[in-house]
Structure 1
């Protein structure tokens, strides 16, 4: 993952956490589940190296995509 992609993923995670906390204060405490989900996703991605947010962001190719792009046999 490129540095620019890492920054985008971290920004997205921060926005999701802040959104969840803000909505929990304004609407319902159940919106804290959004912040918890983002936190759990960050935790699992630190162990596995797989982040689903990368799949949806333009310009964030995974290592598999980069490897096959340079390989003429694929």
Structure 2
């Protein structure tokens, strides 16, 4: 698995968990989805993603986006 795929997998998982928690617990959990979305947008423009740095330290191979 590359860093790119790991970041997308993690972001998708967090979004789905956030939506589930919003449906079952409180609508305030949707703020987590907003945070993930904003982070994805800023990383598209800046190339900086904290999750990518963590996955790189864990030894995942770089991909195209986070090389």
Q: Common fold, TM-score beyond 0.5?
A: yes
Segments of structure 2 that go 5 or more residues without pairing to the other structure are: 63-67
- The answer on 1:31 being equivalent to 2:29 is yes
Q: Greater Rg, structure 1 or structure 2?
A: 1
TM-score computed with the length of structure 1 as normaliser: 0.73
Quote the residue 2:13 is aligned against: 15
Structure 2 SS opposite 1:30: helix
Segments of structure 1 that go 5 or more residues without pairing to the other structure are: 63-74
* Superposition misfits of 4+ residues, deviation over 3 angstroms: none
The count of residues paired between Structure 1 and Structure 2 equals 60
Report which structure shows greater RCO (CA 8 Å, sep ≥6).
2
- The separation in 1 between residues aligned to 2:61 and 2:9, in whole angstroms, is 17
TM-score computed with the length of structure 2 as normaliser: 0.81
| Per-residue deviation, 1:20 | 0.7
Provide the alpha-carbon RMSD of the alignment: 1.7
